[in-house]
Amino acid sequence: MLEKQIIAVVGATGAQGGGLVRAILNDPASSFIPRAITRDVNSEGAKKLARLGALVVRGDVDDEESLKSAFEGAYGAYCVTFWSHVSPDKETSTARNMAQAAKATGIKHAIWSTLEDTRKWIPLSDNRMPTLMGHYKVPHFDTKGEANRLFSDLGVPTTFLLTSFYWDNLIHFGMGPKKEPDGKLAFTLPMGDKKLPGIAAEDIGKCAYGIFKKDTEFIGKTLGVAGGHLTGAQMAASLTVALGQEVRYHSVTPEQYRAFGFPGAEDLGNMFQFKRDFEEYYCGARNLDSTRALNPSLQTFDTWLEQNKNRIPLG
């Protein structure tokens, strides 16, 4: 029997990396085995992955040497950054650490979980949306897009994976329907009547597994994934059916959204405006059929809701 090839997974106890680890382990015929990278091999999340059959090793994206140890001997690496790295400089330095560790250890196929550098569409001089932190329109997008070249300049064989809005944000990120003063639920987005590509977070890892299974096919290419392209009104209609009570779509302007004041509201307000104003490009870059080809069990918003509706806090 051929020895299984190792896929080293950053963020393995999190959403994207965890989805990839579980996708590999759920396929007994897989030619891969996941090596889950975590800062704490004794955490509950890490132990759970070990019980499922993953190799679990310590690694910290802020520490390049630890990443080299974690990537050593692996065939593939899944590279992702974290919300805790809200500082653009930090996101760039962690991406650099991952790219350099992949280069140093001779990784044969890296997947870099990236997003658009929106400044290619909206230069800093364009006043349709405010420039943030002096250099960015959508900081958590722009830094990822800018970091693509850290992988390509080093010659790391990389697939650039464009992710989409997690529908799980309705559970974990406070974006679910909220009670209006009249007691009715409303789902708020600054998207007008434009479509928002979304995905079940767990499906991103399944798509990444699909990419690794295709060997070198997507190396050097950019691939976007989504489980559905839905307007706010369509999402509200699905929520209405799933929750069994009316959910209205409350469309606000990006200006209003940016002024909501929660941490990251300006970044997200600009992000939604980019998705709204460049709907055709943004949806086109996240084709549903090609996503399903990578991940045949891809969930739609309705199937995701069926499984998760009871986890959505209705504030």
Ligand X SMILES: NC(=O)c1ccc[n+]([C@@H]2O[C@H](COP(=O)([O-])OP(=O)(O)OC[C@H]3O[C@@H](n4cnc5c(N)ncnc54)[C@H](OP(=O)(O)O)[C@@H]3O)[C@@H](O)[C@H]2O)c1
Residues at the contact surface with ligand X, assessed by CB under 6 A: 11, 13-17, 38-40, 43, 45-46, 60-62, 80-84, 140, 163, 165-166, 169
Q: Please, which residue, 117 or 246, has the CB nearer to ligand X? A: 117
Q: Please, which residue, 11 or 190, has the CB nearer to ligand X? A: 11
Provide the minimum distance between the beta carbon of 244 and ligand X in the complex, in angstroms, as a whole number.
26
Q: What is the largest CA-CA distance in the chain?
A: 65
* Identity of the amino acid at 216: T
Provide the minimum distance between the beta carbon of 293 and ligand X in the complex, in angstroms, as a whole number.
20
> Is residue 198 within 8 Å of residue 298, measured between CB atoms?
no
CA atoms of 271 and 259, how far apart (whole Å):
14
Burial class (CB in 10 A: 0-12, 13-18, 19+), 138: buried
CA atoms of 68 and 207, how far apart (whole Å):
25
Nearest to 33 by CA among 9, 10, 67, 16: 9
Q: Please, which residue, 113 or 231, has the CB nearer to ligand X? A: 113
Provide the minimum distance between the beta carbon of 160 and ligand X in the complex, in angstroms, as a whole number.
13
Q: Please, which residue, 40 or 193, has the CB nearer to ligand X? A: 40
Provide the minimum distance between the beta carbon of 122 and ligand X in the complex, in angstroms, as a whole number.
18
Nearest to 113 by CA among 139, 71, 72, 141: 141
C-alpha distances in angstroms, 86 versus 39, 93, 120, 273? 18, 12, 21, 19
Provide the minimum distance between the beta carbon of 181 and ligand X in the complex, in angstroms, as a whole number.
28
Taking CB atoms, the residue at the shortest distance from ligand X is 14
CA atoms of 133 and 131, how far apart (whole Å):
7
Q: Please, which residue, 31 or 90, has the CB nearer to ligand X? A: 90
Provide the minimum distance between the beta carbon of 198 and ligand X in the complex, in angstroms, as a whole number.
8
Q: Please, which residue, 33 or 175, has the CB nearer to ligand X? A: 175
C-alpha distances in angstroms, 168 versus 204, 207, 247, 270, 301? 12, 17, 17, 20, 10
